[in-house]
Amino acid sequence: MSQKRLRVTFFGLLLLSILSFRAFACSYFPPTYTVGKNFAVRVSSLEGATYAGVRVILVRAHRVSKFALTDEKGRAQFENVDLGDYSLEIDQLGIAGWDTAGLIVIDGSNKQGPEKQEIQLH
């Protein structure tokens, strides 16, 4: 191989590695929680301020499955949710920077386990 071709190959690989590192560094992987059929979600700022009337939605297969509004303490209660995988999202915020999460709903008959879990979103 000629020296020019080696140089072009080297710089091409260098550029590709920089771009792929940047794409990976900017990726966000939301957490996934395992919960029982009845659980609560608390919506608050990082400073602890809570918000009443925020709609928290459960999405399954790209469709809204259930939703609940937060109370004066920022808590939204979900009851009798079908077993399966969901995405938990916050709607009607008016400001950006809020978490989303994945959910796996299992049969949580153990009262000390996932049935009593509260998920915190900021």
Average pLDDT by stretches of 10, the chain with 122 residues: 68 60 58 90 86 90 92 93 92 60 80 56 66
Measure the CA–CA gap between 56 and 43, rounded to whole angstroms: 9
Do residues 70 and 49 touch, judged by C-beta distance below 8 A?
Answer: no
Sign (positive/negative) of CA torsion 20, 24, 26, 27? positive
pLDDT, residue 121, reads 72
Sign (positive/negative) of CA torsion 86, 20, 97, 119? positive
pLDDT, residue 46, reads 80
Measure the CA–CA gap between 5 and 13, rounded to whole angstroms: 12
pLDDT, residue 90, reads 86
Measure the CA–CA gap between 66 and 39, rounded to whole angstroms: 13
pLDDT, residue 30, reads 76
